[in-house]
Amino acid sequence: MTDRLLIVYCTVPDSETAEKIASALVRERLCACVNRLPSVKSYYIWEGEFCTDDEQLLMIKTTEAAFDRLRERIESLHPYDVPEIIAVPVERGNESYLSWLKKNVG
């Protein structure tokens, strides 16, 4: 594992779920920060049916080393059968912020 930084995207159905997941991840130091976007509209196919839902989006800042534990924790808290958990690498950024992020993931 490297200390590469990741942004993990996770949609949730409501404010209560967003608060529960975000708070747990930060308090357990599985990530340094979670941003919550309160209103996204999702369009997708589920079990052969077209669906559209109002959701919230969590943008979770973590490290590659913590990703598996973070994914498992989201799965344990999330109400969906198949939660969206997508990680993308951080290529560049404010070095001071990136350093802070690394220090705050346990």
Give the span between the Cα atoms of 28 and 26, in whole angstroms: 5
Q: Kindly tell me if the per-residue pLDDT of 21 is higher than 70.
A: yes
Q: Each residue of 35-56: pLDDT tens digit?
A: 999 999 999 999 999 999 999 9
DSSP-derived letter for residue 14 is S
Task: Give the range of the structural domain holding residue 80, as residue numbers without chain letter.
Answer: 5-103
What is the average pLDDT across 56-79? 98
**How many domains does one find in the chain?**
1
Q: What are phi and psi of 26, to 5 degrees?
A: -70, -50
Residue 42 phi, psi dihedral angles, 5° rounding: -110, 135
pLDDT of residue 106: 87
What global pTM score does this model have?
0.94
How would you classify the pairing of strands 5-12 and 33-46?
unpaired
* pLDDT, position 1: 52
Does the structure show a pLDDT above 60 at 7? yes
